[in-house]
Amino acid sequence: MNQTFKIKDLGNLRYFLGLEVARSKTRIMVNQRKYALELLTDACLLACKPASIPIDNHEKFSSIGSVPFTDIQAYRRLIGRLMYLTNTRPYITFFVQQLSQFLAKPTIAQ
C-alpha cells in the first residue's frame, strides 16, 4: 500500500474522534473523559455538583405548558454530543433518549 499511497506511521493510537485509548499488555481501555469534560465546559456545567443518576426517574417531560427553548440548535448539538458519549457511558442512554424526544420543539420546564 505504501507504493500507491503516502503512508506515515503515527505510532500507537492514543486519541481519536473523542475516544482516548490506553493499552496495557493484557487489555485495551477506551474512555471519553476529555470529551465529557469538553462537553461540560461548553454547556457551562463544569462547576455543577455530581449526581448518582443523570435525571430523576420520576421526572415527567412535556412540551405542553412549557416555555419554548430559545436556542434550538444548541439543544440539538448537546443531545448529539450526549449520544456520542453513550459509546463509553451506556448508563446515560435511557436519559439521552428521553431528552431526544424533544428535538423538534425543546422547552424549558417550569
- The residues, any chain, with a CB within 8 Å of residue 22's CB and separated by 6 or more, are 14, 28, 29, 30, 31
Q: Which carries the bigger pLDDT value, residue 24 or residue 52?
A: 24
Can you give the pTM of this predicted structure? 0.75
Using one digit for the tens of pLDDT, what is the confidence trace for 73-94?
A: 888 899 999 999 998 988 889 8
The whole-angstrom separation of Cα 66 and Cα 13 is 46
The whole-angstrom separation of Cα 104 and Cα 64 is 13
Output the nine-digit C-alpha cell for 6. 503516502
Using one digit for the tens of pLDDT, what is the confidence trace for 27-50?
A: 999 999 999 999 999 988 888 888
Q: Is pLDDT above 90 for 12?
A: no
Using one digit for the tens of pLDDT, what is the confidence trace for 98-107?
A: 888 888 877 7
